[in-house]
Chain A
Amino acid sequence: EVQLVQSGAEVKKPGESLKISCKGSGYSFTSYWIGWVRQMPGKGLEWMGIIYPGDSDTRYSPSFQGQVTISADKSISTAYLQWSSLKASDTAMYYCARPLYSSSPPGAFDIWGQGTMVTVSS
């Protein structure tokens, strides 16, 4: 079964750092892009960025460029989303997602992680 399993919920204070993870299984992890999507409480979906684990090619939405870092460790089939200094406005659910195709263009996201809730509060 193809699946993405995300790390558990986090509660952090403003200014702290954080790295959340997304582990892929049941497919060739290095052959598919993995994207990250933010959903703030009661709000819509926002695409943050995407990484190709095969060569670590990474693209960011202009809205998130410089705010987060996306990375991957292909040896353990895991993608990451990290912050160096969290803000209260980073409080949100974060999803990782895999597109339909390993070829170009990769297409829509058909496989989603279960989501990681990040709460930033003093």
Chain B
Amino acid sequence: AIRMTQSPSSFSASTGDRVTITCRASQGISSYLAWYQQKPGKAPKLLIYAASTLQSGVPSRFSGSGSGTDFTLTISCLQSEDFATYYCQQYYSYPPMYTFGQGTKLEIK
């Protein structure tokens, strides 16, 4: 099974900061990588798919990059509403098999 490892597990930052979260796959997954945002008590929300494609309605301060095994999610200018937990997910296989990373909790400094 493909394993996804995110870093850091938690992070403190201030509004206006630029932050980067990384995700590493245990084997190459091309660009079959998504990023989700989850706020307490809410279902996850898709931010980015295909490693770098912004989901409709997601602010342009979010961006994704990478392919193969190493990926990043960048938030260019943190807003108060961005403090949440972020997950990467691979969907490389077919028939579909998915794996989530362990999550990165972004907290206010």
Residues of A within 8 A of B (CB): 33, 35, 37, 44-47, 50, 57, 59, 61-62, 95, 97, 99-100, 104-110, 112-115
Q: Size range of the interface on B?
A: 20 to 34
Asked whether B11 is an interface residue with its Cβ less than 8 Å from the other chain, the reply is: no
Shortest beta-carbon distance from B37 to chain A in Å? 12
Say yes or no: A105 contacts B94, CB within 8 Å. yes
Shortest beta-carbon distance from A100 to chain B in Å? 7
In the assembled complex, 10 residue pairs joining A and B whose CB atoms fall closer than 8 Å, in A order, are A35-B96, A44-B101, A45-B87, A46-B100, A47-B89, A47-B97, A47-B100, A105-B93, A105-B96, A108-B91
Residue of chain B at shortest CB distance from A112: B43
Q: With the chains together, A44 CA to B38 CA distance in Å?
A: 10
Residue of chain A at shortest CB distance from B48: A108
